Structure 1
Amino acid sequence: MTTRESGPDDSKKLAERVAAAIEHKIADMGWPVGQWIGSEPELLAEFGVSRVVFRQAVSLLEHHSIAEMRRGPLGGLTVTAPDGVSVVRSAALNLRYNDATPQDVFEARVALELKCVELAAERIDEDGIAKLRASLASEAEHQRSDKPLGSHDIHRTIAELTGNPAMRLFIDVLTQLSVSDRPENLNQQQQRGRTVVHAHERIVDAIISGDVAVARHRMLAHLRAIAKFIDAGEKAHAKKKAAVAGPKRAPRAKAK
């Protein structure tokens, strides 16, 4: 891959190509986290680029948690595990930037979550049952401690049970966007927590029983309740914002 860059733009494009080539190489190796890929001099010789371009490529790889350059006598480019949190955050930010509405998110989430419970109910085994029950137990304990309920873990567990990593990733993205800023007092938090835990228990019961139709029905009812709660929060926020802004003033009449 011996190439020559003639300017900043060429240098950037070449760095992107080198980073992509290294990423493909790592993927072909089976993504062996912790494995040494090569030293800087070795990789410079392999790709035939300048040190500046190579280090730009390494920065791209490190930014995306694909590989990192370790220093020292035994240093070199080493495979790392991709950071799922940064991927989810980037996707969520992109959707917000593109003005994805709560209704947009709800429609996508319904389609995905219903497929998740369907596959989970069809593929459930003893290990999956244990994971669901552990997630429910953790959620119930959290709710009893009077802390605000982090109500998405069971959704992630269900997505994981499908065996489809893409579904798990997109559920993470959509649940991040399904968070309301609606203020609640302690009693409201406790009541909502009990409602959510009960809904999750009923969904899990249907999945464990292998009843696809009931699991889908209960998940849809739960998602509609979430959408209703978020919508109420959006309306309350808009009302508060309007109150702070005050009444609109009538435009002044032009002098004749």
Structure 2
Amino acid sequence: MPLATTRRAGLVEQVIDQMRALVASGEWLVGQRIPPEPELVSALGVGRNTVREAVRALAHAGLFEVRQGDGTFVRATSELSGAVHRLCGSELREVLEVRRALEVEGARLAALRRTADDLRRLEKSLAERDAAVAAGDSEQVVTTDTAFHLLLVECAHNPVLTELYRGFTEAVRASVATTFSLQPERQEQVSHTELLDAVRERDPERAAAEAGGFLEEMLHRLGQPEVTDSSA
């Protein structure tokens, strides 16, 4: 998606919209450095201050990360995802706790509401994930496992829940990568077959239990967090 020269009115908003579209389309990937300021100024036909203001706004929203002396990098695929990523940071426990809240309810609702087409898509997604596990392709495991969980939440047919989870995708992906790296000897044992069976059989309680089981195990391994009582 090429950059287009902007109109005079609402220049900053137009630049923000174009940059947001480039990220959403995959033209600018997460982790990638965006073009330098002079290049953006030339491509957009606006002044440096307009570009700087747009970049500053998207950095504040969590979409970009400005690294002094190194450039500006794409941090997330959406402002919501960036905000969630900024809040969670690298704290695995916090991410797993939020995943548990969203995925357990997503699985429960999916068991109640899934369609025949949903089930076919889930079966295909899980087969791709299991194939990646069998091949020992850790990067593909992370991609396909994250995709399976997102699809499962989508099958709950709750747009608000789905949008919240989509905004959490980068954090989910990071947590999947971390949990797999923490226990490489168990990769082949991590299975979502029982979870899919529960959704197939329209058993919401079993689906919820299966969705939360592995997350509960990981949280248990991490132990209890230290909490400071400020009122003491």
Tell me if structure 2 keeps the 8 A contact 1:91–1:173: no
Match of 1:206 in 2: 198
Q: Deviations over 1:70-101 (max 9, x none)?
A: 99xxxxxxxxxxx995216523441245xx74
Structure 1 pair 181–141 and aligned structure 2 pair: CA distance change class (3 A): closer
Match of 2:188 in 1: 194
Q: Deviations over 1:1-22 (max 9, x none)?
A: xxxxxxxxxxxxxxxxxxxxxx
Any residues of structure 2 matched to 1:102-113 within 5 Å, and which? 102-113=92-103
Q: For the residues of structure 1 that align with 2:146 and 2:206, how far apart are their CA atoms? A: 20
Q: For the residues of structure 2 that align with 1:176 and 1:115, how far apart are their CA atoms? A: 19
Any residues of structure 2 matched to 1:8-23 within 5 Å, and which? none
Q: Secondary structure at the match of 2:137?
A: coil
Q: For the residues of structure 1 that align with 2:106 and 2:167, how far apart are their CA atoms? A: 11
Q: Deviations over 1:132-164 (max 9, x none)?
A: 100111011111212123232221110121222
Q: Where does the alignment leave 5 or more consecutive residues of structure 2 unmatched?
A: 26-42, 45-73, 224-232
Q: For the residues of structure 2 that align with 1:134 and 1:182, how far apart are their CA atoms? A: 22
Structure 1 pair 193–96 and aligned structure 2 pair: CA distance change class (3 A): same
Structure 1 pair 118–174 and aligned structure 2 pair: CA distance change class (3 A): farther
Q: For the residues of structure 2 that align with 1:89 and 1:183, how far apart are their CA atoms? A: 23
Any residues of structure 2 matched to 1:204-243 within 5 Å, and which? 204-228=196-220, 231=222
Determine whether 1:143 maps to 2:99.
no
Q: For the residues of structure 1 that align with 2:173 and 2:13, how far apart are their CA atoms? A: 30
Greater mean alpha carbon deviation, residues 149-158 or residues 114-123 = 149-158
Q: Where does the alignment leave 5 or more consecutive residues of structure 1 unmatched?
A: 1-33, 48-53, 72-82, 233-256
Across the aligned residues of Structure 1 and Structure 2, the Cα RMSD in angstroms comes to 3.7
Q: Secondary structure at the match of 1:210?
A: coil
Which TM-score applies when normalising by structure 2?
Answer: 0.58
Tell me if structure 2 keeps the 8 A contact 1:116–1:162: yes
- CA apart distance, 1:193: 2.2
Match of 1:91 in 2: 83
Match of 1:9 in 2: none
Which TM-score applies when normalising by structure 1?
Answer: 0.53
Match of 1:65 in 2: 21
State the one-letter code of the partner of 2:132: H
Match of 1:162 in 2: 156
Tell me if structure 1 keeps the 8 A contact 2:81–2:169: no
**Total equivalences in the alignment:** 167
Tell me if structure 2 keeps the 8 A contact 1:114–1:220: yes
